[in-house]
Amino acid sequence: MVTAPVSHLDLLDCTMVADIATIGPSGEPHCTPVWFDWDGVTIRLSLTTARQKYRNVCATPLVAMSLIDPDNPYRSMEVRSSVIDISEDSDNEFLNALASRYMGIKEYTFDAPGTERVVVTLEPKHFTVWD
């Protein structure tokens, strides 16, 4: 387990949208914005099972994440991680917690009916920071 740099912990603790890069079926990068949660050790994401990024992490469980300080675009952090768990979020408990944090609402109601969600847990392997 690697430790996140103290100088940039605020980027993991704030409610910013991060960009994650996954590896597509032909080896090409696939980059998308996501909400995330950091518990001090792991990063968790809520993904729908119908999206490409979900299929990508199932096939190749590697994720790079880019965090740019909203107050200083020249201060940022990259987190390279391995997927260590994918679990169902059938009651949307994790998604609703993210919606509360990011939007101030109790329940996320914007998914289409029948949307299936999972919680993807990442274990950081490498941090790179820029100031």
Q: Summarize pLDDT for 34-53 with one digit per residue, the tens.
A: 999 999 999 999 999 999 99
Per the rule left: phi > 0, alpha: psi between -120 and 50, beta: everything else, 35 is beta
The answer, yes or no, to whether residue 23 has pLDDT greater than 90, is yes
Full domain range(s) for residue 106: 6-130
User: Residue 54's pLDDT is what?
Assistant: 98
pTM here is 0.95
Considering the domain boundaries, does residue 1 fall inside one? no
Q: How far is CA 70 from CA 11, 18, 73, 116, in A?
A: 9, 11, 6, 31
The answer, yes or no, to whether residue 22 has pLDDT greater than 90, is yes
Q: Report the candidate in 79, 92, 93, 83 with the shortest Cα–Cα distance to residue 120.
A: 83
Give the CATH number for residue 33: 2.30.110.10
Beta carbons of 118 and 54 less than 8 angstroms apart: yes
Considering the domain boundaries, does residue 59 fall inside one? yes
Q: How many domains does the chain have?
A: 1
User: Residue 1's pLDDT is what?
Assistant: 79
